[in-house]
Amino acid sequence: MRITKKLLVAGAGVVSLIACGGAAYATAATAAEAAAPAAPKVTAEQAIEIAHQQVPGAWVSELDFDRNGTAADVWELELVKGSQRHEVKVDAASGKVTKSQVDDNDDQDDQDDNDDD
């Protein structure tokens, strides 16, 4: 009779450990899913189309997605048209252009003090 009680107590302990482990795993999986960042509403292709509307006839030389934490996530694009580089930032949630800047391409000569690399 004593052996049966010991087996029941041990069995209950094992079941309890398994149940707690399963609950801990489920909690960890839920936390990982909650922490996973959501995909941007504006896709990379849409960001490229928006940038091409801003700078028609240019080609995209760089495309980066920046998660900014508390600030809005943005697509950063660098476009080249002729000898000019255009930097365009597109809000990843709304698709609005948040920055559009033109830089002369300074990679061609060493005639000034600007970095040519």
The 10s digit of each residue's pLDDT in 59-101 is 999 999 999 888 889 999 999 999 999 999 999 999 999 999 9
pLDDT at 110 over 90: no
If asked whether residues 27 and 57 sit together in one domain, one would say no
Does pLDDT of 33 surpass 90? no
Direct distance between the N- and C-terminal alpha carbons of the chain, in angstroms, rounded to an integer: 85
| Contacts of 43 by beta carbon, 8 Å cutoff, 6+ apart | none
Residue 4 predicted with pLDDT over 80: no
Residue 78 included in any domain = yes
Shared domain check, 68 and 86? yes
| Residues 66, 74 contacting (CB under 8 angstroms) | yes
Q: 74-81 and 97-104 as β-strands: parallel, antiparallel, unpaired?
A: unpaired
Domain-embedded: residue 84: yes
Number of domains in the chain: 2
Report, as an integer, the average pLDDT of 22-32: 58
* 53 and 100 in a common domain: yes
> 64 with 93, same domain?
yes
- Residue 22 scores a pLDDT above 80: no
Question: What range does the domain containing 91 cover?
Answer: 44-104
Residue 81 sits in a domain whose CATH number is: 3.10.450.40
**Residues 79 and 100 placed together within one structural domain of the fold:** yes
CA angle 54, 55, 59 (to 5 degrees): 130
Say which residue, 110 or 103, is predicted with more confidence. 103
Q: What is the mean pLDDT of the chain?
A: 78
Count of other CB atoms within 10 angstroms of residue 82: 9
The answer to whether residues 62 and 93 touch, using CB atoms and an 8 Å cutoff, is: no
Mean predicted confidence (pLDDT) in 20-38:
60
Longest dimension (CA), the chain: 97
Question: How far apart, in whole angstroms, are the C-alpha atoms of residue 77 and residue 67?
Answer: 14
Residue 40 has pLDDT above 90, yes or no: no
82: left (phi over 0), alpha (psi -120 to 50) or beta: left
Q: Is residue 112 part of a domain?
A: no
Residues 21 and 5 in one domain: yes
